[in-house]
Structure 1
């Protein structure tokens, strides 16, 4: 069972979850599943409007305990994309918070339970009603945007979710005494699976701050904090908020690369070297630095328990683990997804004949097994003048210049070089540096062939809800 600590808990923790100015006890979460089983009337798949509210927590918990697969739908998703998610997933009802447009589906509000005595019946599975017949059954379907076409539904089993959360608990020494704090969306792996489901599985208290602001993080009084690089950049810009996190046990950063200057500022202001980890919706988290291991800025650690990785070149040959040679990253292990819903061809393309999942990312591995993610093969591996250059290495170098606040590097088409390196730079509040100075700075820090051929100063970088830079948008702008 995915949530054993919740179901088997003898004590009814009154503030197991704190969200949207609401406290939910462990007993209420358990009782919610009884209501879900009764109210869904045999629905085999339901959509949940994944807003940061108590209703969302009750809906998700109730479905998992009752054995009903969940489709989390972003609250701010556009009409066309939401219609695609509902149609493609085959969701039969909305559970929890009511969306503005029901899209023809019935809406079922969540009933709050009153105590731990209202335990759900065991999921029936094979009896024809809702329920997980096997731990390998799909428990969660998260839609993720690919490089082409509409979002694909990633099917995650209870077994994969449990394996990943248990491996992370081991690597981070995450335990029931922790108070986990974050303000991230509840429709992605980071906020939903790691934050909420991880807390329910481990048995620790969970606090959602609504928005991941420095003030909210400082006031939460947690021992374990999750954030994306944008969150941590804002935290270190607020000295008093950062210093308030000194009482924490662990700070975790993910969903995008944490700039080295932000890593260093976190160490200086909070006293904590942050944990960095890597994964995807399809693989869940597969790499992480450890509480008891090295935490090297810019590196995402080693494989979690049960996970294997390998690097291959364009011909499928092995890439040396020398900390410098870039290769395509593939992973294998118990955390992998069940495939894309209704997309057998896409699922087949994602795996090789030996069951390795092709992540689409490029990376380097050193002799000790530490991994550094260079980025997406499609936008972060730049082939220029016969060289293979990782955009992330150039971004890290530029962020070391005092005139650079944010940067994104892409490769634009070039008749002579194949691709030319272009850096989009947000200047520092202390003052921008001239583009030529930044170009020369990279040439001195790295190699001449890795210098940007062009630096474009911009007011802001396009980002998604998780803080990731939308490089495809920059490629479109840069190619005009």
Structure 2
């Protein structure tokens, strides 16, 4: 296939396709982590030298710390035609042991001086030299060859390794380039972890495929965001927790508001961004955050386009090359898009993973007979094609009084109440309704939380009476994972 990274190719032909002279590309900064940076020329040398050592190595694990070496490691593996298995440095030993046993890497790549947990045992370690020089071997990889094995969060059992082919990386990143008008002139800033699709594929491999630049904050801070956007960065990628902190900081930080106003594109993903955070950011900066929708197994499926309407509460339209449909519980496709009827999202396209590693049973169950992937996400679709996700089929679809209700829209309504800081919605058994709606609320003032009756009336007035919470439970904080997603199974287990 064509090189995943034209700017790192040895010959001038592919680089010139970006409209930038080869010498200028090689001198351009590709990656910056804090005070450390790498130009395309130095990255080509370091990743090329590593690729030569990795050729034929099979799968390799990458200890995915937020450092320059992680980006060099994954890029080198891809140049070598070797599948990389990014590992979360915060994972517990039980989870790490499962992933290492399941993926059976031939070695682990890490930054020099990094201490690895004892669970790695005698697995060969190779320290990544970000200053090495060399040339990558000839790329003989095919479109369907594995590029990454990314492990799912394991909410329904041990994490499964989604095998992502090279064609999926190219398809998703090129589709996003179309949707976001993403070019080599863009400079991306983000502070996301590098062991998952959002932080690694979109945040690191995306700019490298475009021939652009990425500035990684190491650790997210509003000060870091303001600094980088004030110094020429054009795009910001974040998760809702980050944008919530930005929204909270804006009233007292005019420099942050000014910096965000300079950005060409503010993108949120990995979970739904509450509408009230959308509105607070837009009011303070004049810029609207756009959302996209994807998952480990599919990479990206939809997005609000840069040249489209940034509509809070939606994840936009299907990306080029992605087929998307909503289906009823019996598998039949929803006949029309009315903005109200809820169905499960199924997708098909070159962006899909090929299999769950060593799990043919799970792979078969994930696909329909005609090749559509069952996402497990529930959504409605507007007449103009915009998709609005209302929750997960397993945890967010509540069947109450004969209605199918998505938890997400109730959460957004609750978050519009001025006395609610955080909210989650689940269902629990009810002898009369089948399921009753339960709201889990973190109050803006824990000493004076809004009354349950007030919150129920607030939701009923914005949505419909049957969508009001029947039970309200107050918490000091909602349980979240590393990506800021609320862990609803933990809520239900503690109820």
Pairwise TM-score range, normalised by the shorter structure: over 0.9
Q: How big is the shift at 1:5?
A: 2.7
* 1:13 corresponds to which of 27, 31, 43: 27
1:290 aligned onto 2:290 = no
2:386 equivalent among 341, 348, 370: 370
Q: 1:43-83, CA deviations, whole angstroms, 9 ceiling, x for partnerless residues?
A: 21110001101111111111111211100000100001001
Q: Is the 8 A contact 2:54 2:77 kept in 1?
A: no
Q: Does 1:265 align with 2:293?
A: no
User: Residue 143 of structure 2 aligns with which residue?
Assistant: 135
> Is 1:62 aligned to 2:76, yes or no?
yes
Instruction: Supply the distance in 1 between the matched residues of 2:143 and 2:70 (Cα, whole angstroms).
Output: 23
Indicate if the aligned counterparts of 1:83 and 1:103 stay in contact, CA closer than 8 A: no
Contact 2:56–2:82, Cα closer than 8 Å, also in 1: no
- 1:392-431 residue pairs with structure 2 within 5 A? 392-429=408-445
Deviation at 1:416, TM superposition (A): 2.5
Tell me by how many angstroms 1:469 deviates: 0.4
Residue equivalent to 1:28:
42
Q: Which residue is 1:172 aligned to?
A: 180
Distance 1:218-1:429 versus aligned 2 partners, 3 A rule: farther
**1: CA distance between counterparts of 2:82 and 2:132?**
22
Q: Name the SS of the counterpart of 1:120 in structure 2.
A: coil
**Do 1:181 and 1:208's aligned partners in 2 also have CA atoms closer than 8 Å?**
yes
Q: Following the alignment from structure 1 to structure 2, what is the Cα–Cα distance between the partners of residues 166 and 305?
A: 9
**How far apart in 1 are the matches of 2:45 and 2:117?**
27
* TM-score normalised to structure 1 length: 0.95
Q: Partner residue of 1:129?
A: none
CA distances 1:396-417 after superposition (whole Å, capped 9, x unpaired): 1111111111100000122222
Contact 2:55 2:82 in 1 (8 A): no
In the comparison of the two structures, how many residue pairs are matched?
468
Assess, with a 3 A threshold, how the Cα gap between structure 1 residues 41 and 3 changes in structure 2: closer, same or farther.
closer
* Residue 37 (1) aligns with residue 34 (2): no
TM-score (norm 2): 0.92
Residue 324 of structure 2: aligned partner: 309
1:332 aligns to 2:348 (yes or no):
yes
CA 1:236 to 1:13, structure 2 compared with 1: closer, same or farther past 3 Å? farther
- Counterpart Cα distance in 1 of 2:412 and 2:247: 17
User: Which residue among 463, 476, 479 is the counterpart of 1:446?
Assistant: 463
State the alpha-carbon separation in 2 of the partners of residues 37 and 249 from structure 1.
35
Summarize the alignment of residues 139-154 of structure 1 with structure 2, pairs less than 5 Å apart. 139-154=147-162
Q: Residues of 2 paired with 1:294 and 1:274: CA distance?
A: 11
Task: Give structure 1 stretches of 5+ with no counterpart.
Answer: 125-131
Superimposed CA distance per residue, residues 404-431 of structure 1 (whole angstroms, 9 cap, x where no aligned partner): 1110000012222221100001111495
The answer as to whether partners of 1:311 and 1:327 remain within 8 angstroms in 2 is: yes
RMSD, matched Cα: 1.5
- Cα distance, 1:41 vs structure 2: 6.9
The answer to whether 1:88 aligns with 2:102 is: yes
1:299 is aligned, of 307, 314, 321, to 314
